[in-house]
Amino acid sequence: MSNQPAYLEKFKDIKLSVVMPVYNEIATIEEILRRVRAAPIPKEIIIVDDGSTDGTREILREVAARGEARVILMRENRGKGSALRAGLQRVTGDIIIIQDADLEYYPDEYPEMIELIVEGKADVVYGSRFLGRHRAYLFWHYVGNLVVNFLANLLYNTTLTDLETCYKAFRRDVLDGMRLRSQSFGFEPEFTARVFQRNLRVYEVPISYAGRTYEEGKKITWKDGFIAIYWLLWCKFFGLDINREMLARMGMVYRYSQWMAKRIQPFLGEKVLEIGAGVGNITRHLLGPRKVIATDKSPKVIAQLKRDFVEGPRLQIFQYDVSDSPPQALLDEGIDTVVCLNVLEHVPDDAAALKNIHAILAKGGKLLLVAPAFSSLYCSLDRNLGHHRRYDRARLLKMLKTAGFHITHCRYLNALGALGWLVNGKALGRGVMPKKQMRLFNKLVWLMNLEQCLGPPFGLSLIAAAEKL
């Protein structure tokens, strides 16, 4: 352990939030708190007592009075999931880790749990009891874990070995927009389902585990196995996170992104600004002999882009909201091409956004714009994607001219998609596009080449090219 200080240097600027649900743990609460406090990482400790009746609450009041942890006392026992939600709402750290109040897990392994997150390699880390050193006991618990893990892997296309582990570490922003409902031990499968539905980067690391027997205080039973199965199935088929599910399904049509990138290649100049880069589906196709500046208004998206792409002379990534006046750094770049694909509909003041783009471009610079077509097609699908509007052709052209652009190209795009939008959104009132239809569309993207030759009189989107006068 002589090299421990050097090893821990990477954690010195990280604040860890440890959330500990507690229920009737008078025999272990003081020792586990001592171990957590001794873990060699700056941290806050949030303990949530879930209505203990064995004297644990009295000990925790003393802990709070000494300032050793922040203590939340629930009025009544409502379950582990309820206690965890109460604690998670109050965290202030960069990284969160969940800690049980018994002595089954070892807080001195926190560095191994969060190392991949600190290094930017993972969003969520599971401490697997089955990959590490563990006490051999309770065969039927082992079988139950195998069944639950198998179902989770089957439903969410992953290879997790220990869904039910207490030790889960994750960046605080993983919780943004994640609505968790389970009151009890269903928290573990519900959280896991949401994590994989969001396509987060999940790693497992081996941990040590000293499992308890029921005589020693273990609380989870065979009934909780059925609760886990319920939440895995419910999250998969019923409890959709609509906005994120819609975005995920749109991401299934990756061939469309490839086709679009080829479509705009001939228009690209030497210095390209991408507005609303998102997860980088188009960004990766813009890279080449030119300089690309990828922007997005979301700090989380920018952080993700910086993890997925390597910045250098040919690529810059920074936060910018096209609704705001452009920073001087952009104005000084001499941008000759702005790529703005499926962004304008998300901006409250789209006219101001176009004027900002005009200001960014050098004289004679090009704007490549894609926006959803036909205001009459606006429906629940648009609302779930965060669209403020759709555009009629005449209105879009007028806006471009008003902003100071000369339109060189404007036509409808994706007639097949327009039919699917009309049927699913307007006729059937669906909130998300069916997965089978998205997969079929992905296979039929080659038809877009035929459409390009025919020039259909309608489409799901409008694609326009314009020059700065």
Amino acid type, 303: A
Residue 291 Cα distances to 270, 274, 316, 336, 358, angstroms: 6, 11, 8, 10, 19
- Confidence band of 2 (pLDDT split at 50, 70, 90): very low
User: Is the pLDDT confidence value at 219 over 60?
Assistant: no
**Angstrom distance (rounded) from CA 389 to CA 345:** 6
C-alpha atoms less than 13 angstroms from C-alpha of 253 in its C-beta half-sphere: 23
Cα separation, 315 vs 309, whole angstroms: 9
**Residue 134: is its pLDDT beyond 90?**
no
Torsion, Cα of 29, 30, 33, 39 (10° steps): -130
The rounded distance, in Å, linking the Cα atoms of 210 and 185 is: 19
Please name the residue that has the structure tokens 């304008």: 344
Q: State the number of CA atoms in the 13 A half-sphere of 244 facing the CB.
A: 19
Dihedral sign for Cα 4, 5, 11, 16, please: positive
pLDDT tens for residues 40-62? 899 999 999 999 999 999 999 99
Q: What is the overall mean pLDDT for the chain?
A: 89
Is pLDDT larger for residue 241 or for residue 106?
Answer: 106
CA within 13 Å, CB half, 467? 8
More confident site: 247 or 16: 16
**pLDDT category, 13, cuts 50, 70, 90?**
confident
Query: Could you tell me whether strands 202-206 and 124-128 are parallel, antiparallel, or unpaired per DSSP bridges?
Result: parallel
Q: Which residues contact 142 (CB under 8 A, 6 or more apart)?
A: none
pLDDT score recorded for residue 238? 74
What are the backbone angles phi and psi of residue 270, rounded to the nearest 5°?
A: -95, -25
215 has a pLDDT exceeding 60: no
Residue 337: its H or E element: strand 335-341
C-alpha to C-alpha distance for 155 and 193, rounded to whole angstroms: 9
pLDDT value at residue 237 = 80
Report residue 1's pLDDT band, with 50, 70 and 90 as the boundaries: very low
Helices (H), 163-314: 187-197, 222-237, 242-250, 254-264, 283-286, 299-308
406 vs 365: CA distance, rounded Å = 10
Rg (CA), the chain: 26
Q: Is the pLDDT of residue 216 over 60?
A: no
Task: Say which amino acid occupies 215.
Answer: E
DSSP assignment of 88-153 equals HTT--SSEEEE--SSSSS-GGGHHHHHHHHHTTS-SEEEEETTTS-B----HHHHHHHHHHHHHHH
Q: Please give the domain boundaries of the chain with CATH numbers for all domains.
A: 4-239 (3.90.550.10), 245-468 (3.40.50.150)
Residue-wise over 228-249: b if at least 16 C-beta within 10 A, else e?
A: bbebbebbbeebbbeebbbbbb
Which of 46-60, 385-399, 401-415, 443-457 has the least mean pLDDT? 443-457
d(CA 53, CA 72): 15
Question: What mean pLDDT comes out for the span 228-240?
Answer: 83
Residue 217 has pLDDT above 60, yes or no: no
pLDDT digits (tens, 9 = 90+) for 311-350: 999 999 999 999 999 999 999 999 999 999 999 999 999 9
As a whole number of angstroms, the distance between CA 317 and CA 336 comes to: 17
Per-residue pLDDT at 102 exceeds 80: yes
3-class secondary structure, 333 = coil
